[in-house]
Each structure stands twice: as C-alpha cells, then as structure tokens.
C-alpha cells in the first residue's frame, strides 16, 4: 500500500508579498497547475486520485495546522493525520516521524511504502506523474530507496542534480537507474554540461521507499536523527486532526535534509539500493516569480495577468492584483504584485532577490513581512480594514457552527456590528442574539464569546478602541480549538 507523506512546512519568502510565513505558498491558489482554483497543497493531494493509496499524512508546523486541515476538508477527502513539527528540522527528521508512525499504526505487520511529496510543486501531466510513481513502487517494494529525477530541459542553476549510473534492469527495458551521486546547484556552464550529457536529472525532492527501509538506513547513517525522532515519538498527543510529539526531544534533533542524511551516504558506498526513476511530467517547484510566470497561462505578448489588470504595450510581464485595478504601459520583463497591504515591483530576472526585502522588513519589525492583512483562523478569518493610534477596524467572517474562544481583554473594548447572518453573543454570562444591522458593545475586561449558530457565514464589523490593540491582549478561558494555555 502506498502511503503519501506530504511535506507542508516552509515559508516561501521568494514569493512575497503573496506568500508570507503565516500563510506560505503551499496554501495559496497561484493560478497554475491543472486546477487553478485549488491551492498547491490541494493539487498535490488531488493528483493522487486513482493510485489506490492510503489517506495521505501531512507534516506541517503548529502555526499552519488549521489552514492545512481546512484545505483538506474542502477537498472532501480523508487524511491519515496531520503531524505538527515543534520546530523546523528539515526533511530527514520529518520523514522519520512519518516512517515511525506508519510502522506503529500498520495493520497485520504491513510495511507501508511511503511516497514523500512536497506540497508546493506544480505538475501539469498527472498521468505521467502517476506512471512514474507506479514504476517506482515496484522498486520500493524490493527494498530500493527511490528518488524521482526530473528530465532536465534546460541548464537550470537553481536546482540540485542527480547523476545516474547504469540501468537497474537493462534487459527488461525498465526506465530506472542506479544513482551515481547527488550534485549541488551548479554554475551555468556546468549545468549546460549536465544537460548535454543526458546523464543528469533535476533533483525533485520526491522519494519512495518502505517505512522500515528508511528507518534502518537512517539509524545506520545518522543515528543522532534516528534517536531524537524515536524519543520524540514516545510522547504523542492527539488533538483533533493533529498529532504532536515531544518538543524537547525533537528540538535536540540535528537539522538535516534526506539528501545529506541518507541518500548521499548510501551513494558514497556505491550502494545499489538507491534508484532514480525519471519523471517528465511538467514539473516546477515555483521557486520564484520568474518560475510562476513560466507555468502560468500567458497571452500573445507573454504576459500573465490575474485580477483587475489593464495593459498597453506590455510584454513578458507577470501582474497579480488582489483588490484594485493595476495598469501597465510600455513595460516588459516586470513582476508587479499587489496585495491588500503591499506592492512589489521587480524585474523578473531579479525577482529572486525579494528575500532581501523580506529580511529588511523583518529587521524593521514590519508585520508585512510575516502577516497578511487578511488572517485565517480555525473559526473563519478577519481582515484588518483600518487602524489608528487608539482604534482598529476589522471585518470578521465566522463560519457556520463556529465559535470564537471565551475570552477577555485588559486594554480594549469592542463594538460589533452585524452585516449579515446571525450572531450568538455572550457577555459576562448573559447571552443574546444579534442580527443584521444590529450591534453590541463589549466593555474592557468583560468575558465574552461570539458564535455563528446559523447555516451561512456570519459577517460583522468589529471596532476596537483602547490603549493597546495587539493580538496578544487575549486571555482565553475556553476554546474548542485547543488554544487555551
């Protein structure tokens, strides 16, 4: 049985301001891939349809847990658990958690075959993807550790490479090869030589192997990671969809990728257990805006526009606008990104340096580096519409049946005006219903709660006033989403 393990961590700063640490690219619908309405995580799950796999296991961090769970729920599919990393420790430890859990929960002594995928890749040819996966499965069942090598169609310097050796089953015509080595990102001339030789593939970061095989090899070649992950898995806390492991044990784990911790040491032994299966499936890791332009639908002038965009004499330009009209005149090779609280303008060949801007924003304590104006919560979302020295205005959306925590604030009062739907409001144990065009006032230190008892979204405007309006001025007494500390 194939058990997909989807790595959904990462911050995706190279796509700022679309992607930010509190809502990175794997959770965004970027208008590329086979279904433009789906996020990258949802596309990753959807392309497994028809493989006959077990429900996928997700690995993400604590901050993104409700986003991941909601996006899986919207697909209407089951999942095999959402593992929460206490801290980021790279891919080797994350996969170890999944492998150990798979072995612990396997039925009748089964040894699941893990299909390790990144949540933020574009694959346009899903049939070719599944063909490669099925081929890799045959090798993984025979105790091979399989990596997927992307057939290189250009000399890219932003990818690592895999050098192949001889064919695994040359007499049978099987398109799979032993791995000679994993190669770091090359310079342009070296990359040209790699592509011309036909012996190198782009390193996709996708893998397939038995859970036991990975655990055994990790124990041999990187016992520090193995020991830390085993200790972390000895304390597991199930919280709704989420599985938490021992934080202290996991924090002691070395930070290492699967390439460095497992694959490269095996290749150094001239080990015949490492196999590469070529994949030619329209793959792209969307590592920056130039890549996003490449995989987006383009007009006759090479432009890709999303949102309200008008252009004159514009060529090879990517424009994405979330909430207002953007116009371009007489420009080419640009990236223009408009969000509700930030605008990026860059030459597409220099857009990979956007991380420098993010670092400057962080150094200046700018919230735009990490937080969108629109923030998602397990009960819905809020949009910070306006703010001043002693006030803040938010538009709040509460999903049907959802309830905010029972809470109070030391420094701010709140005024709620219902725009649509019905609200059940509790203030100091007094419950009332507030409907459209009605309002309610919550004084400072009043214990209060907000719930949507209806069948449609509850929309309201919240006006905060007081001496301090930070999100950390919340004392939670009760919370159905496990956020009471």
pLDDT 10s digits, 392-422: 999 999 999 999 999 999 999 999 999 999 9
Query: Looking at the domain assignment, is residue 367 inside a domain?
Result: no
Q: If you average pLDDT over residues 319-341, what whole number do you get?
A: 97
Query: Looking at the domain assignment, is residue 384 inside a domain?
Result: yes
Report whether pLDDT(104) > 70. yes
Nearest-angstrom CA–CA distance, 29 and 33: 9
Last residue within a domain, chosen from 332, 361, 390: 361
Q: What share of the chain is helix, strand, coil (3-state, %, to 5)?
A: 25, 35, 40
Shared domain check, 67 and 164: yes
Q: If you average pLDDT over residues 215-234, what whole number do you get?
A: 95
Shared domain check, 141 and 81: yes
Query: Looking at the domain assignment, is residue 235 inside a domain?
Result: yes
Query: Looking at the domain assignment, is residue 184 inside a domain?
Result: yes
The pLDDT, as a whole number, for residue 43 is 97
Alpha-carbon distances, residue 484 vs 302, 404, 461, 475 (angstroms): 51, 12, 25, 8
Shared domain check, 66 and 9: yes
For 329, the enclosing helix (H) or strand (E) is strand 326-329
The CA-based angle 377-380-386, given to 5 degrees, is 85
Domain that holds residue 311: 289-361
> What does the mean pLDDT of the chain come to?
93
Shared domain check, 336 and 258: no
Nearest-angstrom CA–CA distance, 3 and 279: 20
The number of folded domains in the chain is 3
Q: What are the b/e assignments for 181-205, b being 16+ CB within 10 Å? A: ebbeebeeeebeebbeeeebbbbbb
Tokens representing 310?
A: 């008008």
Shared domain check, 410 and 332: no
Last residue within a domain, chosen from 251, 284, 317: 284
Report whether pLDDT(371) > 80. yes
Shared domain check, 269 and 313: no
SS (H, E, C) 350-409: CHHHHHHHHHHHHHCCCHHHCCCCEEEECCEEEEEEEECCCEEEEEEEECCCCECCEEEC
Shared domain check, 383 and 419: yes
Report whether pLDDT(271) > 80. no
pLDDT digits (tens, 9 = 90+) for 160-184: 999 999 888 755 656 899 999 999 9
Report whether pLDDT(99) > 80. yes
Q: What percent of the chain shows pLDDT beyond 90?
A: 84
Shared domain check, 171 and 60: yes
Query: Looking at the domain assignment, is residue 337 inside a domain?
Result: yes
Shared domain check, 312 and 258: no
Query: Looking at the domain assignment, is residue 369 inside a domain?
Result: no
The pLDDT, as a whole number, for residue 170 is 56
Query: Looking at the domain assignment, is residue 260 inside a domain?
Result: yes
* Burial class of residue 65, CB neighbours in 10 A (0-12, 13-18, 19+): buried
Q: Please, are residues 241 and 79 in contact by the beta-carbon 8 Å criterion?
A: yes
Shared domain check, 387 and 301: no
Shared domain check, 160 and 18: yes
User: Which DSSP state fits 17?
Assistant: T
Give me the sign of the Cα torsion angle 355, 357, 358, 359: positive
Closest to 18 (Cα-Cα) out of 202, 254, 291, 276: 291
Query: Looking at the domain assignment, is residue 197 inside a domain?
Result: yes
Nearest-angstrom CA–CA distance, 307 and 318: 11
Last residue within a domain, chosen from 300, 326, 361: 361
Label residue 440 by pLDDT band (50, 70, 90): very high
Shared domain check, 302 and 279: no
Least confident of 26-30, 99-103, 172-176, 199-203: 172-176
The CATH number linked to 443 is 2.60.120.10
């Amino acid at each position: 049985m194939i058990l997909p393990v989807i790595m959904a961590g990462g911050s995706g700063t190279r796509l700022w301001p679309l992607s930010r640490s509190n809502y990175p690219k794997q959770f965004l619908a970027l208008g590329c891939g086979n279904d433009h309405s789906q996020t990258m995580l949802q596309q990753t799950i959807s392309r497994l349809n028809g493989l006959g796999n077990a429900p996928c296991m997700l690995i993400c961090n604590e901050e993104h847990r409700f986003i991941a769970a909601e996006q899986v729920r919207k697909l209407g599919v089951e999942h095999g658990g959402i593992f929460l990393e206490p801290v980021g420790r790279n891919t080797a430890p994350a996969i170890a958690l999944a492998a150990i859990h798979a072995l612990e929960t396997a039925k009748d002594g089964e040894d699941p075959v893990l299909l390790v995928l990144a949540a933020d890749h574009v694959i346009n040819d899903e049939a070719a993807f599944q063909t490669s996966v099925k081929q890799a499965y045959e090798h993984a069942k025979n105790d091979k550790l399989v990596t997927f090598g992307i057939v290189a169609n250009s000399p890219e310097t932003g990818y690592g490479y895999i050098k192949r050796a001889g064919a695994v089953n040359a007499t049978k015509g099987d398109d799979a090869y032993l791995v000679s080595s994993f190669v770091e990102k090359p310079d342009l001339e070296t990359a040209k030589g790699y592509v011309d030789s036909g012996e190198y593939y782009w390193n996709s970061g996708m893998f397939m192997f038995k859970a036991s095989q990975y655990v055994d090899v990790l124990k041999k070649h990187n016992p520090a990671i193995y020991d830390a992950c085993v200790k972390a898995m000895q304390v597991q806390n199930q919280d709704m969809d989420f599985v938490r492991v021992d934080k202290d044990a996991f924090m002691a784990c070395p930070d290492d990728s699967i390439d460095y911790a497992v694959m490269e040491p095996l290749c150094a032994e001239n080990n015949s257990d490492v196999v590469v299966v070529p994949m030619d499936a329209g793959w792209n890791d969307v590592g920056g805006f130039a890549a996003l332009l490449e995989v987006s639908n383009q007009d006759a002038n090479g432009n890709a526009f999303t949102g309200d965009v008008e252009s004159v004499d514009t060529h090879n330009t990517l424009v994405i606008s979330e909430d207002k009209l953007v116009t371009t005149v007489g420009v080419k090779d640009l990236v223009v990104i408009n969000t509700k609280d930030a605008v990026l303008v860059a030459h597409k060949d220099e857009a990979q340096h956007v991380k420098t801007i993010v670092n400057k924003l962080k150094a200046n304590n700018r919230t735009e580096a990490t937080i969108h104006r629109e923030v998602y919560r397990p009960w819905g979302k809020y949009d910070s519409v306006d703010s001043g020295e002693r006030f803040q205005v938010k538009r709040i959306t509460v999903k049907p049946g959802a309830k905010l925590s029972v809470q109070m604030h030391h420094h701010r009062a709140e005024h709620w005006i219902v725009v649509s739907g019905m609200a059940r409001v509790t203030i100091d144990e007094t419950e009332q219903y507030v409907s459209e065009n009605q309002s309610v006032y919550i004084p400072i230190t009043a214990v209060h709660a907000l719930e949507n008892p209806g069948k449609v979204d509850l929309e309201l405007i919240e006006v905060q006033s007081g001496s301090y309006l930070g999100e950390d001025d919340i004392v939670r007494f009760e919370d159905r989403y496990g956020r009471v500390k």
